Structure 1
Amino acid sequence: MSNLDKDKKVRQTSIGGQAVIEGVMMRGKKMYAMAVRNPEGGITIEKNQWGGIGSKGIFKVPIFRGIAAFVDSLITGTKILMHSAEIAGEDWAEEELSPFEKFLQDKLGDKVNDILIYFSVTLSLILGMGMFFVLPVWLGNFTKDLVPVWALGIVEGLLRIGIFLAYLFLISRMKEIKRVFEYHGAEHKTINCFESGLDLTVENVKPCSRLHKRCGTSFLLFVMVISMIVFFFVRTDTLILRLVSRILLVPFIAGISYEVIRWAGKSESRIVAAISYPGFCLQKITTAEPDESQIETAIAAMKGVLEDEGE
């Protein structure tokens, strides 16, 4: 680890980001900027307001604001990811529409893209819930005669973490995902550089750590650990009741996890360092060392936010 990694951060920022297809999105409090490498080799920068439910009523309250942030990130993040593929000129973004997609486009016009995005998000949620909540409960049910009822939540939690690690390992072997992980590393390095008080240049960003406490990977790990704690207190030996309780409590657990990672991002205490360490270990899988062109793209996205929301 370089000396720069060990330096105490001198800037506090709420700016976060997301790796996209051949680029990076950086998000401020009210808007985001996306920078993507286009087929000509240049950088296309687009800015837009960050909409959603997070600024409305009860969703400003702790826990509930975490639920809103989770939902908004899924919907807006999917839109941004799909649009980045179009800018980057990815082949799959230019594929001919299927007969069903043509039918929807004829009937719904421009609204078809939004409908497909919401469908994609819904399908992703269903698959995610099935893989990381329903499957561990079903597998854990085979141990109900071997462990007491209070231990079932712990067994499920360990299975959940095991499935998550296996999933990360498998997708990390894909060539396309490796490129995304490199941009993920560029995003973290750029944020760390800014928070260290340095000018945003490739030379300054390069030695910065590619790990960050507010990373989405760490958030997902927090969700799994906190779910293990919550489910320890929600005890039942009936399979259906366990499944229903697990699914219904997911938004609540996401809200708690959001508050924890938000607090961790603002603190330099030893306690935070300890609870952030497992997330850092996972980030070594979900991030990779970027090249200079990828760092330039991340810097362009960060500067795009700072121009409008200078911190």
Structure 2
Amino acid sequence: MPQTKPALYGGQAVIEGVMFSGKHVNVTAVRRKNDEIVFYEMPKTTKPWVKTLLKVPFVRGIVGLIDSSAKGSQHLNFSIEQYAEDEAGADGKDTAEKDKKEDGGSFWSLSMIFGVAVAGVISFVLGKLAFTVVPAAVEELLFGKSFDNIVLHNLIEGLIKIIFLLGYLYAISFTPLIKRLFQYHGAEHKVISCYEAGEELTVQNVQKYTRLHYRCGSSFIVLSVIVGVILYSMPFFEWNSIWERIYIRILLLPVVLGVSYEVLRLTNAVRDIPVLRYLGYPGLWLQLLTTKEPTDDQVAVSIASFNRMRELDAQISEQPGQAAVNA
């Protein structure tokens, strides 16, 4: 009999833990300071109209990004609450100054992440707008009157985006809390790779695998820059002023996101084909910044989250009525 391909799972790193998304449930595992691993389990409930849109090419990418951003923020909030309780301690003392002095700025990092989590979808939309508008405005101010070649303008704009992105990721990677977040990101990838290879999920087996993975959202970020350069360079998207240029960028943002998602799916589909597999390499290179090698303890948390997700998925699948509701 032909061997069944493993299911495709995704996830995200959270503060001191990992969230995995299954067919019927999302599960987050977080390690507390006393070494206890706690779980946050949430059934996946998707409205019928959202399910329909998730099947429509070029639309499903945008809907999926917004939906996952909203749901992911709930799991990130859970991890932040656990972290805050551990930092406060049993005596309830304010540890803000302690964080600043002993953790090299982790208090600032936690505040930054908390803001992203609370904002949810709003943060996602504003972040994409800023990343789209600011590089265009910078390029226009620096080079707008230097030459008329629209393709060259767009290439420079794309380069500015990449520089901004790499600079930002490099800067925050020095913050201890963000560094640990990136380590858990690596642990998430390793667990998925080990599972997809058909190996038993032990710490020793998982650690053998690379922390880079084709389906990571980091790849989507790089592809959106490349797709944007191509779309903006089309003749009918020329501009005559900086405001017109920014307007076009905002107007085309959903198109860029939708096309980038389809390109990402394509690169995943052809990653086992020689030569074509290199299409996904820019995203893998970016993951050298967004992931770090995890410790054994961090891998153990990732395994615990993945196993719990699959266990709950199996339980719900055995209940046809409930599975139909949560699918």
Distance 1:286 1:187 in 2: 12
1:79 and 2:104 are equivalent in the alignment: no
- TM superposition shift of 1:29: 3.2
Contact 2:29–2:301, Cα closer than 8 Å, also in 1: yes
Contact 2:69–2:120, Cα closer than 8 Å, also in 1: no
Contact 2:66–2:121, Cα closer than 8 Å, also in 1: no
Range 254-263 or range 219-228, more displaced: 254-263
Match in the other structure for 1:203: 204
1:26 and 2:20 are equivalent in the alignment: yes
Distance 2:180 2:117 in 1: 23
- With over 3 angstroms needed to count, the CA separation of the structure-2 counterparts of 1:145 and 1:19, relative to structure 1, is same
Match in the other structure for 1:138: 137
1:273 and 2:277 are equivalent in the alignment: yes
Match in the other structure for 2:325: none
- With over 3 angstroms needed to count, the CA separation of the structure-2 counterparts of 1:74 and 1:90, relative to structure 1, is farther
Range 197-206 or range 256-265, more displaced: 256-265
Letter in 2 for 1:58: L
Letter in 2 for 1:20: V
Letter in 1 for 2:289: I
Count residues with an aligned counterpart: 284
1:115-152 per-residue CA deviation (whole Å, 9 max, x = no partner) reads: x966454245324422x211111111131222325222
Match in the other structure for 2:147: 147
- With over 3 angstroms needed to count, the CA separation of the structure-2 counterparts of 1:165 and 1:63, relative to structure 1, is same
- TM superposition shift of 1:12: 4.2
1:299 and 2:323 are equivalent in the alignment: no
Percent identity at matched positions?
34
- Give the match's secondary structure for 2:8: coil
Match in the other structure for 1:247: 250
- TM superposition shift of 1:160: 1.0
Range 12-21 or range 189-198, more displaced: 12-21
Distance 1:154 1:275 in 2: 18
* Structure 1 unaligned residues grouped into runs of 5+: 1-9, 97-115
Distance 1:222 1:229 in 2: 11
Distance 1:229 1:210 in 2: 30
Distance 2:23 2:286 in 1: 27
- TM superposition shift of 1:90: 5.0
- TM superposition shift of 1:224: 1.1
- Give the match's secondary structure for 2:212: coil
Contact 2:32–2:86, Cα closer than 8 Å, also in 1: no
Match in the other structure for 1:6: none
- Give the match's secondary structure for 1:36: strand
Pairwise CA RMSD: 2.7
1:235 and 2:238 are equivalent in the alignment: yes
1:15 and 2:16 are equivalent in the alignment: no
Distance 1:44 1:193 in 2: 23
- With over 3 angstroms needed to count, the CA separation of the structure-2 counterparts of 1:68 and 1:276, relative to structure 1, is same
Contact 1:12–1:195, Cα closer than 8 Å, also in 2: yes
1:38 and 2:32 are equivalent in the alignment: yes
Distance 1:235 1:187 in 2: 42
Range 14-23 or range 277-286, more displaced: 277-286
Range 49-58 or range 139-148, more displaced: 49-58
* Structure 2 unaligned residues grouped into runs of 5+: 95-115, 318-327
| Length-normalised TM-score, structure 1 | 0.83
- TM superposition shift of 1:272: 4.0
Distance 2:124 2:227 in 1: 21
Written as runs of structure 1 = structure 2, the 5 A alignment for 1:172-187 is 172-187=173-188
Contact 2:40–2:78, Cα closer than 8 Å, also in 1: no
- TM superposition shift of 1:25: 0.4
1:255-290 per-residue CA deviation (whole Å, 9 max, x = no partner) reads: 222222223334312344211112111111111111
- TM superposition shift of 1:176: 0.8
- Give the match's secondary structure for 2:12: strand
Letter in 1 for 2:31: R
- With over 3 angstroms needed to count, the CA separation of the structure-2 counterparts of 1:39 and 1:283, relative to structure 1, is same
- With over 3 angstroms needed to count, the CA separation of the structure-2 counterparts of 1:195 and 1:124, relative to structure 1, is closer
- TM superposition shift of 1:58: 3.2
Written as runs of structure 1 = structure 2, the 5 A alignment for 1:50-199 is 50-52=44-46, 55-88=50-83, 89=85, 91=87, 119=119, 121-123=121-123, 125-130=125-130, 132-141=131-140, 142-151=142-151, 152-199=153-200
